[in-house]
């Protein structure tokens, strides 16, 4: 297939200049479009984030969190850490109680044969 250019066709110097200008403008436009796409998406993301930050939904979220915190404080709840500490304390106390019960049972067993004689 043959390639055609302005030089192959009868054209004036003005036509060649216009053709070159048009090609240059199209090339610059395409370069701008490709370079602007990431900026466009970054700008869009920033605007959406700003809209969300300034929206009433953010205020509603803050208010709901505050109300829930007040409600939980009225219920006299404990944190998970406090619960875990108390669970450990209870386990140690149970172990001591079992040891003391075994000791009392052994003392009672030792005392009963002497009482019966």
| 13-50 residue pLDDT tens | 666 666 666 767 666 666 555 555 567 777 777 877 77
106 and 52 belong to one structural domain: no
- Answer yes or no: is 108 within a domain: yes
Instruction: Give tens-digit pLDDT for 104-113.
Output: 999 999 998 7
Q: What is the DSSP letter of 19?
A: H
Residue 81 has pLDDT above 50, yes or no: yes
Domain that holds residue 111: 78-117
Return the percentage of the chain with pLDDT > 70, whole number.
64
19 touches 6 (CB < 8 A): yes
pTM value?
A: 0.37
Q: Is residue 2 part of a domain?
A: no
Judge if 20 and 57 occupy the same domain: yes
> Residues 84, 29: one domain?
no
Statement: residue 79 has pLDDT above 50: yes
Instruction: Give the DSSP H/E element, type plus range, for residue 114.
Output: helix 80-116
pLDDT of residue 87: 96
- Whether 95 is covered by a domain: the verdict is yes
- The predicted model gives 90-100 an average pLDDT of 97
Quick check: is 5 in a domain?
A: no
Distance CA 84, CA 73 (A): 19
Are 16 and 60 in a shared domain?
yes
């Amino acid at each position: 297939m043959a390639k055609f250019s302005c030089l192959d066709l009868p054209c004036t110097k003005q036509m060649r200049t216009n053709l070159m200008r048009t090609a240059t403008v199209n090339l610059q436009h395409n370069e701008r479009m490709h370079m602007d796409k990431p900026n466009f998406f970054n700008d869009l993301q920033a605007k959406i984030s700003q809209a969300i930050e300034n929206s009433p939904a953010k205020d509603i979220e803050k208010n709901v969190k505050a109300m829930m915190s007040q409600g939980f404080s009225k219920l006299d709840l404990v944190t998970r850490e406090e619960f875990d500490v108390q669970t450990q304390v209870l386990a140690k106390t149970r172990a001591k109680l079992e040891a003391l019960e075994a000791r009392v049972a052994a003392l009672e067993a030792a005392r009963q044969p002497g009482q019966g004689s």
